[in-house]
């Protein structure tokens, strides 16, 4: 019996070398862009105490109630693989007192997140996010900046067609009254709503606005709107955010149904969508979470940020050039050529070139085939003649021209050709 084969766990996927260039591109864009706005990279653990997420995200949310990978470790603690980045970053800000020196610290992060959702295109159980967070700033200008940095990032990655959607969901002063108004309206419509929405009516009425069931849509469209129930401060804040976005030339669509699944979001919420993604059309989502830091035992520090799905962004970008291309392929054809080839290979690699060579002693024809497959720019051949003359035959694969180069000069020669 042959040994059993294994497969990646459902909802997880391998990112294979052929698709890695898109990932490198968006990671490099993050490293380059966010520091321009003062965001510094932070890396937090992939697992935390379960209670951090339960408190930070909200027990009634889908994430906490049914999607978390929670386990007890050998010491009996309940741990959870992070389903999102904000709670961990907030924990780190509090734990290391990061707001002590700089009252308005800014961070960015990237890494894997884990949610036990139903896998489908653009939805996985392990996926990756780029995350940006700004603390300690309550003025509308930072809301506008967060939106601007999100769009600048998408542009830097090469994403063209996407739409920014914007809303305000009020704050602790005005939202509770709106939620009650909404709940009362929903109770009257209970008979016309799906089972999930009937449950949400009691647990988390705002989530009803997010319902995708077609039959529910006419009812939901007729529900009271948060925009008509904002307090004066929230109204002014939102008006100023929009004025600044206009000033920056950023276009958006208002959507009164844009609510985030996370309880701690206040005021500004936004999302960037792309039609090209199909059903899972959200590329990134974010907003303000002024109550969270305090909720997690920290100082009264405001926060705002966004999280972007890296799988979805990579899917949207044009295929980047394969990075696997080889600069020089060495073809030692006689046993005597092996040692010079090993030394040349080392020197060229030290000089920063991508070099591969034939190690299995195959003939010229099969070596040239391999060089072609690797899309090598140059091939350096050393057979009996070349050994006798102490040269390498250097073939430029683009023009199919070849020239004899003295062994002592070949490293410099190839470097000059490839760099020049």
Contact residues for ligand ATP, defined by CB under 6 A? 84, 115, 117, 122-124, 127, 129, 261, 280, 282-285, 307-309, 311-312
Q: In what order do the strands lie in the sheet with 40-41?
A: 40-41, 106-114, 126-135, 303-309, 282-288, 266-273, 163-168, 253-254
Measured from the CB atom, the residue of 211 and 337 that comes closer to ligand ATP is 211
Nearest alpha carbon to residue 148 among 74, 293, 39, 221: 39
Measured from the CB atom, the residue of 178 and 289 that comes closer to ligand ATP is 289
Q: Smallest distance, Å, CB 206 to ligand ATP?
A: 13
Q: Smallest distance, Å, CB 261 to ligand ATP?
A: 5
**φ, ψ (nearest 5 deg) of residue 256:** -65, -10
Q: Smallest distance, Å, CB 320 to ligand ATP?
A: 19
Measured from the CB atom, the residue of 127 and 378 that comes closer to ligand ATP is 127
Q: DSSP letters of 250-286?
A: ---EE-TT---SSTT-EEEEEEEE-GGGTTS-EEEEE
CA distance 27 to 262: 26
Give the residue at shortest CB distance from ligand ATP: 309
Nearest alpha carbon to residue 67 among 121, 113, 111: 113
Q: Which helix (H) or strand (E) holds 319?
A: none
Measured from the CB atom, the residue of 10 and 346 that comes closer to ligand ATP is 10
Residues 6+ apart with CB under 8 A from 205: 179, 182, 183, 186
Q: Smallest distance, Å, CB 84 to ligand ATP?
A: 6
Burial class (CB in 10 A: 0-12, 13-18, 19+), 119: middle
CA distance 376 to 53: 50
CA distance 222 to 88: 38
Residue with token string 């610290």: 105
Measured from the CB atom, the residue of 216 and 347 that comes closer to ligand ATP is 216
Measured from the CB atom, the residue of 238 and 289 that comes closer to ligand ATP is 289
Q: Smallest distance, Å, CB 34 to ligand ATP?
A: 17
Q: Smallest distance, Å, CB 287 to ligand ATP?
A: 9
Q: Which helix (H) or strand (E) holds 73?
A: none
Measured from the CB atom, the residue of 137 and 283 that comes closer to ligand ATP is 283
**φ, ψ (nearest 5 deg) of residue 129:** -130, 150
Helix axes 338-350, 410-419, angle to 10 degrees: 40
Burial class (CB in 10 A: 0-12, 13-18, 19+), 286: buried
Q: Smallest distance, Å, CB 262 to ligand ATP?
A: 7
Measured from the CB atom, the residue of 165 and 338 that comes closer to ligand ATP is 165
Burial class (CB in 10 A: 0-12, 13-18, 19+), 3: exposed
- The answer to whether the beta carbons of residues 122 and 312 sit under 8 Å apart is yes
Measured from the CB atom, the residue of 166 and 308 that comes closer to ligand ATP is 308
Measured from the CB atom, the residue of 312 and 377 that comes closer to ligand ATP is 312
């Amino acid at each position: 019996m042959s040994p059993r084969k294994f497969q990646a766990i459902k909802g997880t996927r391998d990112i294979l070398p052929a698709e890695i260039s898109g990932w490198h591109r968006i990671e490099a864009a993050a490293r380059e862009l966010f520091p321009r706005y003062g965001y510094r990279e932070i890396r937090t653990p992939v697992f935390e105490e379960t209670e951090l997420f339960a408190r930070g995200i909200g027990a009634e949310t889908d994430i906490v109630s049914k999607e978390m990978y929670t386990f007890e470790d050998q010491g009996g603690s309940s741990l959870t693989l992070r389903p999102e980045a904000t709670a961990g970053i907030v924990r780190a800000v509090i734990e290391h007192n990061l707001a002590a020196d700089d009252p308005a610290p800014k961070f960015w992060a990237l890494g894997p997140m884990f949610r036990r959702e139903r896998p489908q295109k653009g939805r996985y159980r392990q996926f990756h996010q780029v995350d940006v967070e700004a603390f300690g700033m309550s003025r509308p200008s930072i809301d506008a900046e967060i939106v601007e940095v999100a769009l600048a990032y998408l542009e830097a990655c090469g994403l063209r067609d996407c739409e920014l959607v914007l809303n305000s969901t009020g704050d602790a002063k005005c939202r509770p009254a709106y939620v009650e108004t909404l709940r009362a309206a929903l109770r009257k419509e209970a008979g016309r709503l799906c089972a999930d929405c009937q449950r949400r009516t009691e647990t988390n009425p705002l989530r009803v606005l997010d319902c995708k069931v077609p039959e529910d849509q006419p009812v939901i469209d007729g529900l009271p709107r948060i925009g008509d129930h904002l307090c004066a401060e929230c109204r002014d804040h939102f008006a100023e955010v929009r004025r600044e976005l206009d000033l920056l030339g950023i276009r958006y669509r208002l959507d009164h149904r844009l609510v985030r699944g996370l309880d701690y979001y206040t005021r500004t919420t936004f999302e960037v969508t792309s039609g090209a993604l199909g059903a899972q059309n959200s590329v990134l989502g974010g907003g303000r979470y002024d109550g969270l830091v305090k909720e997690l035992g920290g100082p009264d520090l405001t926060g705002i940020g966004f999280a972007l799905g890296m799988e979805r962004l990579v899917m949207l970008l044009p295929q980047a050039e394969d990075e696997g291309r080889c600069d020089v392929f060495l073809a030692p054809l006689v046993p005597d050529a092996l040692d010079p080839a090993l030394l040349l290979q080392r020197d060229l690699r030290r000089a920063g070139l991508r070099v591969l060579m034939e190690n299995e002693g195959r003939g010229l024809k099969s070596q040239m085939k391999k060089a072609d497959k690797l899309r090598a720019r140059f091939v350096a051949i050393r057979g009996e003649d070349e050994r006798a003359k102490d040269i390498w035959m250097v073939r430029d694969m683009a023009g199919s021209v070849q020239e004899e180069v003295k062994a002592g000069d070949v490293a410099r020669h190839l470097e000059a050709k490839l760099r020049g």
